[in-house]
A and B are shown apart, each in its own frame.
Chain A
């Protein structure tokens, strides 16, 4: 993460911690790696996200939510001066049934950014099984620049 400034890393940690409520807090996401090449995030196993009574099969929807969240983080890391970010569209392929109680790892990056749009892709697998992806996703985000910085809005509670 040498290419990411210390200030940016502090901002990311602060923004993540400022989310007192909401899905990202509930998913208990842990940022493992951050660089301009992308981000790697861990989601601990949570029985609430399962579909079966035995609680061993994750619902695809939580993987979609995970990808959406981590795309947002990848954009925040890759793009300066964004005031709002909204998902335009999201596409997810479920490559295998998500049968495991292992932690979920997701890797995502912003592969193209323009003034108005960011394009993302990412992969999801169970820890230790990187060669057996369970989902892959792609998304585009609409960006608004100028005005209140997204970081300030997130941490100081200002609306933009």
Chain B
């Protein structure tokens, strides 16, 4: 699936519009996306950091797209997730890259990393499991 079609699918999902992100690249086992900062994403209003739940949601969305690029028809069912928060997500764009580490007949395991200005300085890392049946 090409990036343009995938982004058209993204724009049809209410919660994805709430997160406000775009897919930047997509292939069989990877997806990269960029989320635009918005006041509704704030978790700490004093420091204006991203809410941890928004970061986890963005990572879950990117992971689901990497697993099932045609998610508009057959969405992957999330089973569970683990997120490690490494640095605060400050006001500004947030990037995510999802790698499908294993995709079987029934299950998929996806690792996701998010960063802002430097890919080497992760904001959070996550591991997501999906049910494909």
Whether B13 lies near A51 (C-beta < 8 A) is yes
In which size bucket is the chain A interface? 35 or more
Per-position 1/0 for B36-57, Cβ under 8 A of A: 0001111111110001111011
Whether A67 lies near B43 (C-beta < 8 A) is no
Choose among B12, B39, B45, B54 the residue that contacts A65 (Cβ–Cβ < 8 A): B54
- Does A144 have its Cβ within 8 Å of any Cβ on chain B? no
Whether A22 lies near B79 (C-beta < 8 A) is no
Q: Which residues of B contact A51 (CB under 8 A)?
A: 13-16, 75
CB-based closest 6 A-B pairs: A65-B53, A61-B57, A22-B42, A59-B15, A68-B53, A23-B51
- Does B22 have its Cβ within 8 Å of any Cβ on chain A? no
Among the stretches A89-97, A109-117, A118-126, the one at the interface with B is A89-97
Whether B14 lies near A47 (C-beta < 8 A) is yes
Whole-angstrom distance between the Cβ of A13 and the nearest chain B Cβ: 16
Q: Could you name 12 residue pairs across A and B whose Cβ atoms are closer than 8 Å?
A: A22-B39, A23-B40, A24-B51, A64-B53, A64-B60, A86-B85, A87-B52, A87-B85, A91-B80, A94-B80, A159-B46, A159-B47
Interface residues of B (CB under 8 A from A): 12-19, 39-47, 51-54, 56-58, 60-61, 75, 77-85, 88
Q: Which label, helix, strand, loop or mixed, suits the secondary structure of the B interface?
A: mixed
Within 8 A of B (CB), among A31-69: 47-53, 55, 58-62, 64-69
Q: How far is the CA of A62 from the CA of B53 in the complex (A)?
A: 7
> A154 — nearest CB in chain B belongs to which residue?
B46
Choose among A19, A24, A59, A89 the residue that contacts B57 (Cβ–Cβ < 8 A): A59
Choose among A23, A52, A61 the residue that contacts B60 (Cβ–Cβ < 8 A): A61
> B57 — nearest CB in chain A belongs to which residue?
A61
Whether A21 lies near B80 (C-beta < 8 A) is no
